Amino acid sequence: MTEHARVLVTGATGFIGSALVSVLAQQGVVVTAATRQPAANASPSVRNMAVGALSANTNWAQALAGQTTVVHCAARAHVMQETATDPTALYREVNVLATLHLARQAVAAGVRRFIFISTIKVNGESTGPGQPFTACTKPGPQGAYAETKYEAELGLQALAAETGLELVIIRPPLVYGAGVKGNFLALLKLVKTGVPLPFGRVNNRRSMVALPNLLSLIGCCVDHPDASGQVFLVKDGQDFSTTELLRALARALGQSLRLFPVPQKLLYLGACMVGQRLRAKRFLECLQVDDSATRERLNWVPPLTAGEALVLCFGVAEL
């Protein structure tokens, strides 16, 4: 990364954004962290900029001044207990309209590169055995989150073609690390209970990416000359079945684990009976990624193996 890079990170208090700000600052990059509200305990090496709520009316002029690159991590992601009367409209307001508004202001401010953190869900929710998603896979988003992320991708690509903005799109699968939430946190808590679990015979394959590996790729894309105009998939070097993942987590946590085999169909039916169909699909189905094109184009490899990342992220985790 060049020493002249000046990077604006949106979503700078989020899971990915906060870690990215820290890593870039440690590398000597001049970082501006865009947050909704003024940051407490701000690092002296980071310029913090409160921009308010992310919308199609956000004024980014001050935050964008002098920047060479924007890394757009902010988004409306999965809401576990939805209370909005029209959640799809909110997803579109934040993930599409606000994103394109930011990108247009970035162009006007002379920003050279725009890195958009999208999601593998743009490709779809699951893959067939031995049929991983690639960057060339026809998109098949399902649900408001994935659909609006794809709409944003299309709008950004049109803007880049019109203006010459160097657009980089990254579609990560499940990202894990210290502070992770959602389904991965649920697995961690299950392992920590020590109770016998009925996942001893789950033969799916799931791709994931450790937060440090994703941050490494984002950093590579900040100024890599071959990143512009590309869609990159990313993952760790190893895919896991749910059974393998539970065992790997137990090893990383130093936790004993007792698994007993239950056929996947019965697990799925049982989950459906208690209203957990979507969670069961994510625990039981395949979702694999082929990121060989990313590695070849950028001459990049994840700095951590999956085993190393699990120990680094959770070996001393307090849940």
Catalytic residues: 145
| Rg of the chain (C-alpha set) | 20
Cα separation, 297 vs 118, whole angstroms: 19
For the chain, give the number of residues: 319
List the structure tokens of 13.
Answer: 């208090």
Which amino acid would we find at residue 9?
V
CB < 8 Å & 24+ apart, contacts of 124-129: 125/281, 125/285, 125/287, 126/281, 126/285, 126/286, 126/287, 127/286, 127/287, 127/288, 128/286, 129/205, 129/286
Q: Is 38 helix (H, G, I), strand (E, B) or coil?
A: coil
The residue assigned the tokens 């895919």 is 239
Cα separation, 128 vs 313, whole angstroms: 30
DSSP letter for each residue of 163-197: H--EEEEEE--EEESTT--HHHHHHHHHHHH---B
Residue 197, number of CB atoms within 10 A of its CB: 18
Cα separation, 68 vs 112, whole angstroms: 5
